[in-house]
Structure 1
Amino acid sequence: MSQVDITPDVLEYKPPLTEQSTEYVTISNGSDEAIAFKVKTTAPKFYCVRPNAAVVAAGETVQVQVIFLGLPESPAKDAKCRDKFLVITLPAPYDLGEKAVAEAWSDLETEFGKQAVSKKIKVKYGHVAALVEGITGKSETAEDNKKEQNSRDSQVANAEEDEEEEEPKTAVEERQPLAREQKSPKVVKEEKTSASTGNVPEDNKESKTVANAGSNIVPIALVVILALVIRWYFF
């Protein structure tokens, strides 16, 4: 019986744990005689084992389906499964006839109980590590994507601000020649203003002075002639 190998040590069921899933127990018989096995569990309501009991011929291997029926609701992330399986093997040196292994098991156990080989198999919920790692990975990926998007938005915003700053500079440069051109009409306006207020140019002033002098000579000449006539008349 030392040549009987039972694997694995742990059955790991992955999420979603509310759904049915299947794992396998392998029983290899390396001895030169047939063996019988039986599988027991601490939580029969949550598992279905096929076959639950059977014979393994010499040199053969049998895979046993251990079907997890699913939980009513998902367990907490830190939940630990305490379910266990016990696989017991006994020698089956003779033909059991029409009896099933389950029916003949008590007889085999009574006769070959001291040669029994058993192995305990634990059950583990895979979500404790897998889900936490998956959620953490997704969170980090989402955060990286968000940072990258924010960086792109910031670059676009900075580019738009630079364009807005360049546009006013160009507008100011275009307005400067216009401002220079608008200054020259002020001179003309000043000249017009000076003309309206009596500030006549120097040439106009000279002509007006000569005209004023000519107009003053006529009255003087009349006064002189009148004085000569009076003198001649009385003297």
Structure 2
Amino acid sequence: MSAACNHLTVQPSELSFPFKLKKQSSCSLMLANNTDQHVAFKVKTTNPKKYCVRPNSGFLLPGDSTCNVTVTMQAQKKAPLDLQCKDKFLIQSVVVSKRIADKDDITAENFDKAAGNLVREFKLRVVYVHANQPLSVVEGSKEEEEEEEEEEGSSSSRAAVVVALKEKEEYAIQRQELDPEIDRNNGGGGGGSFSMMFVIFI
């Protein structure tokens, strides 16, 4: 969806940012010259610390020339309630002299209404949209996976200890059951035990 402000056509008519916690998000604007004259533009916002606009000013040659403007929202630590945003952008445009050959030639005086300049303005609102996979969810999943791996590792260690104890207990029980039989077979004496060992050795 596009909108016209006499000098320029602005597409889209609002800035939509996929909102992701702790991650930058960008969207683009396309400005098109509707006149047969040189038109300078400037992009302003109500929250300049939050957004980076490149380029934030420039000029367009006559004959449907266009300019792409990228607006980047800095990483946000908190999500606003219901993802509602009150930030707004303002695009100002004014016809300038043909002598302007570079955006550095454009000054604040060009947009001074008091000086008699015919400045056109177009306002854009900011809209946050739900991202497919917010960073907070991804980070949470990674942390949960790490915790699960640690739990699995500790569970495996505990299981190994339990198995070893059970084996030791079974060995002790078997030993208790076998010792009387060995004593009976060998007459209950130490010599019998030695004879038994000697027979086994042979």
TM-score, length of structure 1 as denominator length: 0.50
Aligned counterparts, 1:1-235, within 5 A: 2=4, 4-7=9-12, 9-11=15-17, 23=26, 25-29=28-32, 31=34, 33=36, 34-44=38-48, 49-57=53-61, 58-64=64-70, 77-78=78-79, 84-90=87-93, 92=95, 95-98=97-100, 100=106, 102-106=108-112, 116=120, 118-122=122-126, 130=134, 132-181=136-185, 183=187
Bigger relative contact order (CA 8 A; separation at least 6):
2
Contact 2:17 2:25 in 1 (8 A): no
Q: 1:164 Cα deviation (Å)?
A: 0.7
Instruction: Look up the SS of the partner of 1:97 in the other structure.
Output: coil
Q: How many residues align?
A: 171
Deviation, structure 1 residue 97: 2.9
* Per-residue deviation, 1:4: 1.8
Q: Any conservation in 2 of the 1:83–1:122 contact (CA below 8 Å)?
A: yes
Q: Secondary structure at 1:157's aligned position in 2?
A: helix
Matched to 1:103, the amino acid is E
Structure 2 unpaired stretches of 5+: 190-202
Query: What is the Cα deviation at residue 40 of structure 1?
Result: 1.6
**Contact 2:33-2:66 within 8 A present in 1 as well:** yes
**One-letter identity of the residue aligned with 2:16:** V
Structure-2 change in CA distance of 1:45 and 1:141 (3 Å): closer
RMSD between aligned alpha carbons? 4.4
Q: Residues 3-55 of structure 1: CA distance to partner in whole angstroms, max 9, x if unpaired?
A: 723356135686758xxx79564323174645432212223456564543321
Larger radius of gyration: 1
8 A contact 1:50–1:64 mirrored in 2: yes
Q: Compare the two structures and name the one with the higher strand fraction.
A: 2
- Counterpart residue type for residue 86 of structure 1: F
Unaligned segments of structure 1, at least 5 residues: 186-235
